[in-house]
Structure 1
Amino acid sequence: MQPIFFTKLSTIGNNYLILNYLEQPELSLDYANLAKHITNPRTGILADGIIILLPSELADFKMIIYNRDGSRAKTCGNGLRLIGHYLLEIERFNQPQITIETDSNVSILTHEEDLITVDLGFAHSLIDPCHPLSLKSQVTDYCGDIETPYGIWQADMISMGNPHFIIYTDDDHEAFEEEMERISKNYDVNVGMLTVINPNELLLTTYERGSGLTSACGTNAAAAVASAVARRQVNPYELITVHLPGGDLYLKWNEEAHLLATGHCTKICCGTYFFEGEKKDF
């Protein structure tokens, strides 16, 4: 058995287990298999995934994310804020800002006391990856048709370093949960059902690949705000409240067209998990 020391943190219903290898060598493990077992609610510690914290040659720190199904995520908005909170607690975030390397890019974190903000950078169109969304973007630059049992739906196809479909509706989001799962699996994307409440408020439900229906997805919320700003549904340069099943996340499209996400994080517990590396995958 391999002892794995972890710290569990939570933000708006998202829970991740952080494995800290800043001061000790990274363990040689099958982390995809570990993620499946350690996050199992019956035999492990319930969580949406694991985050491995490492030194970086490109940034101040590096994080690698595995979803609870063992898939590797390129980036994670809520995970970045959780890492920021964790680094604050261990006194490694004493400067005004730090940089975190992910599989997708390098993100900038800032904090005001214990409130963490992550700069998620530009939103890009999945239709034309070289095209960052701007206030001059045309809907055809980032919107495409998808077939569903309900007919042809339009989806705003947006990358935040990972892929997202944003689908607008005024109906109850729960009615489309099965269809969200189908779209996610067919297109290998995170799917967000979005309702515009007013120019500063959105309602969002997300099916996240690798995790399923989730309490919150920071990059999906950023993609939703980018879509709504480009469509002139919400205000740029102002704080937008995104109501998620797990709580509220606050986002802003700033003057550089970067998406900034802000929210509180909480430390839940820490402990040791004993991993039997020869366990078979689910």
Structure 2
Amino acid sequence: MEIEFTKMHGAGNDYIYVNTLRYPIDNPEELSVEWSRYHTGIGSDGLVLICPSDQADFKMRIFNADGSEARMCGNASRCIGKYLYEEGLTNKTDIQLETLSGIKILHLHLNDKNTVESVTVDMGIPTDIHEVALGEGYIASKGIAVSMGNPHLVLFVDEINKIKLEEVGPALEHHPLFPDRVNVEFVQVLTDSKVRMRVWERGSGITQACGTGACATAVASAFTDRCGRKSSIVMDGGTLEIEWAGDNHIYMTGPATKVFDGKIEI
């Protein structure tokens, strides 16, 4: 069976997108592992399925490069908004997207060519914000835990470029405080409205960007009075604008980019 797919990225966070309305997939866990390999597969941070929904306009399922299913991905949700509009699956510029962490609202920003230039996502209300003590043997003794529908651990550091993610990331992802594992953000504050962030993603390892991680970083920065309620989160793959608004919701704005279309046999 031949499957058509689209490779897209949001600030360098790249996924393989499949429209399951046309191409139903029974084994996404296995395919995500196989297709995500850069040397023998398509190469990506994981697999995203665009599905029908009985609760919203569409539904997103997302699988990490190790085959585990994630609850939410901000970068992938922006790319889905671009895909849905530009492929003619909807003419809405405000789209309800069902995820495992609830229904998210995507607001599409169009350019004069009627293509999607950027997307603002209502990421909902952050929860379970608190300081955690990590104990001995880690790069930091404490961090800020934040849930954006998926778990995050934000660590503030002085010199982010000296952090060896491949060495410190795995142990923190599997820290005993987080039995379901955790996404880890390393953050250096640049100004009171701008921070530099690098990420070790649960199930994928080092990635160029993480949308929920950028939101968690903004929340942790404001929670600790390092930044205000609006901040620019600069990641390896690009910058996202995050606002922790007066309604307590997090609004994330950033780019969505199509790389190429392809076909693969299963």
Superposed, which structure 2 residues align to 1:123-134 within 5 Å? 123-125=126-128
Identity %: 33
Is 2:2–2:263's contact at 8 Å kept on the other side of the alignment? Answer: yes
Corresponding residue of 1:86: 83
Corresponding residue of 2:106: 109
- For structure 1, which segment, 144-153 or 198-207, has the greater mean C-alpha deviation from structure 2 after superposition? 144-153
Corresponding residue of 2:251: 260
Query: Structure 1 CA distance, aligned partners of 2:264 and 2:24?
Result: 16
- The C-alpha deviation readout for 1:77-101, integer Å capped at 9, x for no partner, is 1010010111121123422411100
Deviation of 1:174 (Å): 3.6
- The C-alpha deviation readout for 1:174-195, integer Å capped at 9, x for no partner, is 4342122211123310001111
Scaled by the length of structure 2, what TM-score is found? Answer: 0.91
Query: Of residues 152, 156, 181 in structure 2, which corresponds to 1:168?
Result: 156
Corresponding residue of 2:242: 251
Query: Of residues 187, 198, 201 in structure 1, which corresponds to 2:194?
Result: 201
- The C-alpha deviation readout for 1:235-260, integer Å capped at 9, x for no partner, is 12x3x111101111111111111111
Name structure 2 gaps, 5 residues minimum. Answer: 111-115
- For structure 1, which segment, 55-64 or 88-97, has the greater mean C-alpha deviation from structure 2 after superposition? 88-97
What letter is aligned with 1:244?
Answer: M
Deviation of 1:71 (Å): 0.7
Corresponding residue of 1:146: 134
Query: Of residues 147, 163, 181 in structure 2, which corresponds to 1:159?
Result: 147
1:118 and 2:121 matched: yes
Query: Structure 1 CA distance, aligned partners of 2:106 and 2:138?
Result: 41
Corresponding residue of 2:113: none
Is 1:84–1:93's contact at 8 Å kept on the other side of the alignment? Answer: no
With over 3 angstroms needed to count, the CA separation of the structure-2 counterparts of 1:173 and 1:257, relative to structure 1, is: farther
Q: Which runs of 4+ in 1 moved over 3 A?
A: none
- The C-alpha deviation readout for 1:133-181, integer Å capped at 9, x for no partner, is 5xxxxxxxx1110024257611111100000000111123443421222
Is 1:200–1:241's contact at 8 Å kept on the other side of the alignment? Answer: yes
Query: Structure 2 CA distance, aligned partners of 1:151 and 1:190?
Result: 15
- SS at 2:213's partner residue? helix
Query: Structure 1 CA distance, aligned partners of 2:136 and 2:30?
Result: 33
Deviation of 1:25 (Å): 6.2
- The C-alpha deviation readout for 1:64-123, integer Å capped at 9, x for no partner, is 001111110011010100101111211234224111001111100001212111111111
- SS at 1:147's partner residue? coil
What letter is aligned with 1:89?
Answer: E
Task: Name the count of aligned residue pairs.
Answer: 255
Scaled by the length of structure 1, what TM-score is found? Answer: 0.86
Cα RMSD between the aligned structures?
Answer: 1.6
Is 2:97–2:103's contact at 8 Å kept on the other side of the alignment? Answer: yes
Corresponding residue of 1:54: 51
With over 3 angstroms needed to count, the CA separation of the structure-2 counterparts of 1:155 and 1:95, relative to structure 1, is: same
